Structure 1
């Protein structure tokens, strides 16, 4: 008889990594030669450690404890931040121990993850934290030796005198901790970096691979109850609730109607999922909603309306178009998208009188605390927030709705509560990437020069659906950019690379259309516009022309742009979140069909702190951008998404990822963010390559649902 083995989801991950290698090895999760990081479990070491600043403590044992303040959601900040501190400290990386810091606004500034801003914001602060501690350690050693501090050097966790007498950092911490730190300390020259720029392993690899409870879904507290919530369709409110069937499910202890929600409460999530299906809730409209979901009609009406907000205007646009030798007009549209992180929303809350304990995955712990304080009417200082590792976020966890739900239920029940969303909850009750439609127009003179440019964006709860100061603004004499924001009951939220995630695709595809009409090479066309912006700028320039030019020229060189008769290539470049990324997609024809073979990317994100993590971010951004441009859609009916789970919400698959070739441009700048910038250019590069190969221009996402795409039957080959 065959022996059966019981496994859990973490065992599956470990088995999958060993058996297939695809998920882990394909993304080089362990591919580096740095010392293995072990997780510190010795509480005695921690209790003996001397604090030098908010980020750094050193134990007499020589162990170095570094606290990472920003939430970790896969961007590898929990490794990159400590690398910066350890670099300036000249630490022995094998002795570095890393912990996630809880929310503490007195110790840390901007303790959030979003907008690819953590690294540029914290770069100098982290360097100073390490350099200050090193300065004090050196001073302590100088006193012991009776020499001037200038005679001492540091290396690998030691202070040395003439390369002979030396002290380990652990021997110096007691004396060093009593010294007063100066306001300013010298920082290293980048040429002397030994840790920054090396492929250090993720500090949490061991814990992840061995299934330690790191994520919010793993969190458990003795005595807590579980809750799951049925939320209303968008634009609807509860009319009546019959909870008889739900209460009869074994394991359900209570059903609570609060605000416009119905919560089922019990001892585990499985009976709650069954109980939710037994709820009989009748809804009624909460105001007029029938027309709110007819998005095609909304887009058509607003694109032609005269009530747009002017975001930027340069020159005499009307005259430029009136006198143009040629006018090109195109419209591009994208759907709503779910953030769909692998870990659905969840949070733990324990309200104890006028104090609250919050634990869970949040990108904005301070927002979680503030909204909880506002809900309960208590001082925010009475609320603690412990940040678990996030199983993805992509902007969804910038909100605090799931945190407030947990706090409110804990208050109502007078018990510690963990609220968990199912995948269907996440899809149907979430906040989405806004649906947007753009109308572009370009005016060409008889020499093929772009003398006029118009963009009108219409977004559904998108706020400003344009980035009016991004390229090509500043390079065109006559330019008009307008925005219209339509208010809908559908909640929207920042989605990875907000607005630019689709705007870049639309802009870069349209610029290829203009280059074609002007009979110019797409890369040269953009370089000529940049030269125009540099030599004779129109209005203010809000992007770095030389950095954008640098990635364009690099990707053209690395991809052999235009040098192969067999390759049909598509180009795209974009500036977002302070960084610049250019991409080229390669398509070849096999048996009369187009095959996407490769995407080459050139990135200027300033100093690359952690090359392994940076490669993950660029590759992940490209895969994310490609998958959502080609496959993913969310449509609504009667206030609910039709797509409720991954059986109908189509995501990209591993076999659909082509070869990705990543390069970096060293522009000499400090780090400028990398969690989002690689995503925006991807769709445009692929769409432009498809046009080069087939003559089919795809202007609406997802590609897979468009007639033009179905006719060409694009295939993808992995190297």
Structure 2
């Protein structure tokens, strides 16, 4: 594989690191080609885009710009560079970069897009450095560069039995002209990529070193917390402000946005003062209850104002002529994100004689640029006057895509004219968050006399859900007559992206309904899906925006590994889904123990292109499945008079250790460039276990959480 660099767009610069004779290779994240750099300045003084450095001791350092939220990006990025560089992995280190929109592009943790975005850039950076090191060695030995090879941080010349380390060659490599045509490895030659590598943050995590936002401490900083209103209210007055201000360690109490902020010298003092607050709340909007939500969603299913998302063929005629019609409705509740680390952020707003001059931000965010821009807008200063330092996140799942908690810290810091770390309690996180929207779906399928699927209808209705459908996903394209539309209800309850947005529940509903249709047609669920894919390939209807062969591949792999249909002692359920450019099929296995269905095992087959790190990839798939199962089985957030009825984990049920099934993960091997993996394995999880529970009990699960359904009660 050859990569050409266009001279007019080429961002390669070369600099010799005079401090210690080190060699620094930087690369441009804004282009598909990396930028190699070597200049006569110390590495720490370089101002080009994200860089790779090689010290005289052979240490390779890469500055990682993307936020680390547990997806393993700080491990995966250097693996890619080290692979092309043929580096000694034990000498590779990675450092977290601050926000820098001039040097980096897409400093975001979301959408499972970090690796797809950076794959080629990182490879070219490593390959360019390797070629320059080889040419430096060849020049030293006076041999053709083509006769030299590399391995684990050394350039080798087998004919003369000579070798030299990268560190020893660094200064000489800095003098080599930067190549404009570098050869990338063939995937069959990968040594690190596709292997099992431990997370680079494991040592500091295991030894308790500061990594997360809650760990951050600055001498002299204050601590703040907010009392937030229920949805549909705002703070009108603090009736005991004077009393609270006299409490130990408390410096001030103030109205901020719709709530009340308490600032003091320690988290414990602030938390005690917050609990003592007496606030007069003023109603500003409709106070919705969960009973209202259920009624609203049901009514919207019959709305005459639905927005058509996709329409193929003549749906009305297909259903009028159907030999059999299958109908089903599915509903999901609001869900909080529930990351183990609640929201928190440090802000230091610095003011001068002419007002606010700058702001410093430090903390866990999935969107540092948004945090910076919202801060700049609030303070009325230029974005380049705001710095953002990233900490590792103790979970995010989409909640930290927003910047509301950052802005709160900025507001309090400005009012106090001091550095402030704002901390949310678990109760704050659950009651004042941005939730997964509540959604309801109605499906209808038309079968002809030969039990062929000739018509398909889906209506999605949601509360602050936007478009609750994915109209171009399977089975669209395989059904000649298809209608998908949606309706939305606006509410004061804040919603937002929740891991695998929309598809986290839609996949359960779609894949459960397809099983119902397969049953009505008298067909095996796996074979039924394969038949639909065959139809999509041989006689497609409308646009097909998924890869038929890749979806077929994971279906067949999952069925094979699970021994689909060959086991007599377990009930199996199947599900498959495409999201974030990847394909995942799952088989859930359920047994009945003491009269109740118990999930024992889940087989997963994933096609995410080239797997960077087997360890990280398996953890992502397993984590997605556990997350998907846990929330489908137990998760539910309900409202009364605009307030959540669940305040903490005592009322909000999460999956427990003894409820986690054995998960067996398999990857499709191919040379496709990496696609997403942090989210795609979550959507199919709910249907895999729901369909298995149906096999075991004969009862369908159509509403989440499953624990409230009859199917999970004692089986007679």
Common fold by TM > 0.5: yes
Query: TM-score normalized by structure 1?
Result: 0.91
Any idea what SS the aligned residue of 1:99 has?
Answer: strand
Matched, 1:104 2:107: no
1:379-394 matched pairs, under 5 angstroms? 379-394=382-397
Query: Who is 1:191 aligned against?
Result: 188
> Residue deviations 1:94-138, cap 9 Å, x none?
111111111122222211110111111111111111112112222
CA drift of 1:179 comes to 3.9
What residue is the counterpart of 1:155 in the other structure?
151
Contact 2:288 2:639 in 1 (8 A): no
| Counterpart contact for 2:578–2:584, Cα < 8 Å | yes
Matched, 1:469 2:482: no
TM-score normalised by L of structure 2: 0.91
| Cα distance per residue 1:187-222 (max 9 Å; x no partner) | 100111111111111111111111100000000011
For 2:126 and 2:97, locate their aligned partners in 1 and report how far apart those are by CA, in whole Å.
17
Structure 1, unpaired ranges of 5+? 1-43, 714-719
Kept after mapping to 1: 8 A contact 2:596/2:712: no
Query: Which of 426, 435, 438 in structure 2 is aligned with 1:435?
Result: 438
Q: How does 1:258-407 map to 2 (within 5 A)?
A: 258-290=256-288, 294-353=292-351, 354-407=357-410
Over 3 Å counting, the alpha-carbon distance change for 1:365 and 1:160 in structure 2 is same
- Tell me by how many angstroms 1:517 deviates: 0.5
Change (3 A) 1:658 1:288: closer
Matches within 5 A, 1:408-487: 408-487=411-490
2:201 to 204, 215, 221: 204
Q: 2:446·2:456 contact (CA, 8 Å) conserved in 1?
A: yes
Determine if contact 1:631/1:702 at 8 Å carries over to the other structure. Answer: yes
* Cα displacement string for residues 267-318 of structure 1 (whole angstroms, at most 9, x for unaligned residues): 1111111111111111122133357971011111111011111000000011
Q: Residue 652 of structure 1 corresponds to which residue in structure 2?
A: 655
Match of 1:579 in 2: 582
Say what the alpha-carbon RMSD is for the aligned residues.
Answer: 1.7
| Partner Cα distance (1:395, 1:592) in 2 | 38
In the other structure, the counterpart of 2:8 is none
Alignment of 1:115 onto 2:118: no
After superposition, the C-alpha distances for 1:332-357 in whole angstroms (9 at most, x for unaligned) are: 00000010100000011111232211
What pairs up with 1:64-103 in 2 under 5 angstroms?
64-103=60-99
Match of 1:139 in 2: 135
SS of the residue corresponding to residue 185 of structure 1 reads: strand
In 2, the alpha carbon distance for the partners of 1:361 and 1:48 equals: 36
Displacement of 1:506: 0.3
Structure 2: stretches of 5+ with no match in the other structure: 1-16, 27-49, 352-356
More moved, 320-329 vs 47-56: 47-56
**TM-superposed deviation, 1:709:** 2.4
- Extract structure 1 runs of 4+ deviating beyond 6 A: 44-48
CA distance 1:667–1:198, shift in 2 (3 Å): closer
The corresponding residue for 2:24 is 51
Kindly indicate whether residue 237 of structure 2 is the aligned counterpart of residue 237 of structure 1: no
Q: Deviations over 1:396-432 (max 9, x none)?
A: 0111111111112111211111111000000011100
- After superposition, the Cα gap between the structure-2 partners of 1:258 and 1:591, relative to the gap in structure 1 and judged at 3 Å, is closer
The residue matched to 1:597 in structure 2 has which SS? Answer: strand
- Change beyond 3 A, Cα 1:57–1:451: same
The 10-residue stretch of structure 1 (365-374 or 50-59) with the greater mean CA deviation from structure 2: 50-59
Given that residues 334 and 436 in structure 1 are in contact (C-alpha distance below 8 angstroms), is that contact kept between their aligned partners in structure 2? yes
How far apart in 2 are the matches of 1:76 and 1:586? 29
Measure how far apart 1:46 and its partner are: 9.6
Sort the Cα spacing of 1:49 and 1:298 in 2 relative to 1 into closer, same or farther, 3 A.
farther
Distance 1:200 1:132 in 2: 23
Structure 1 pair 468/415, CA: closer, same or farther in 2 (3 Å)? same
Structure 2 vs 1, CA of residues 573 and 200 (structure 1 numbering), >3 Å: closer, same or farther? same
Query: In the alignment, what sits opposite 2:31?
Result: none
Change in Cα spacing, 1:292 to 1:334, as seen in structure 2 (3 Å) is closer
